[in-house]
Amino acid sequence: MNSKCSDGLSVLLANIARIHTNIRYADAKAGVVLLVNMSILTAIYKLFGEEFPLYLENGDVNTFLLASIALLLLGASLCLLVTRPRGDEYAKGRGPGLVDPVRIAQHEKSDEYIKEITGAESNLIYQQAYELIWDVSKIDRAKYRMLSYALVVSFIGWVLSMLTIALHIIEVGSYG
């Protein structure tokens, strides 16, 4: 049995709300990973800061230290890129619209938008709502893809950082 969804507007609104929540979570998760990476880098600096050149002479610590710093910085950079995907790149070329904030802002004046929205057919509004959902789902997907890269790189950096700190503690303990 084929029939139209009786409450299509509610489905559209629920989808857009869920996608926007996902986008907020991706940005928040990236912020947490960025904070962890920067905290570990700060701890590494405080631990090795003044004696850093001495540790570069030790091959094991050198490898782990430089690798962990590089991975933590790369993970932090990837976290910053999570905030990059925005609606502008997906709504380009479609011109002024009625539903999408990026396309609404393309109207020259508010009166132009008000006139267009008040005279719009429901089919046009639905079509633009579908396009908006498509666009924000692409943004959501791009953010989570970049977040997954940031998490993998950062996790490896966290492990190497812990190894570096453990090697440092063992080395300092063996001299003391």
User: Quick check: 30 and 79 in contact, CB under 8 A?
Assistant: yes
Assign 153 a pLDDT band (cuts: 50, 70, 90): very high
pLDDT above 60 (res 10): yes
User: Quick check: 83 and 112 in contact, CB under 8 A?
Assistant: no
- Alpha-carbon distance values, 135 to 63, 130, 161 (Å): 43, 9, 39
Instruction: Give the list of residues 6+ apart from residue 174 with CB closer than 8 angstroms, or none.
Output: none
Condensed to tens digits (0 to 9), the pLDDT of residues 61-79 reads 577 888 999 999 999 999 9
- Alpha-carbon distance values, 65 to 13, 28, 70, 95, 104 (Å): 49, 28, 9, 51, 50
Structure tokens belonging to residue 139: 């943004």
Condensed to tens digits (0 to 9), the pLDDT of residues 25-48 reads 999 999 999 999 999 999 888 887
Provide the 10 A C-beta neighbour count for residue 57.
8
pLDDT above 60 (res 53): no
Structure tokens belonging to residue 7: 């409450």
Condensed to tens digits (0 to 9), the pLDDT of residues 79-114 reads 999 988 776 777 777 788 888 888 888 888 989 989
**pLDDT value of residue 150:** 98
Structure tokens belonging to residue 138: 């692409």
What is the domain partition of the chain in residue ranges? 8-175
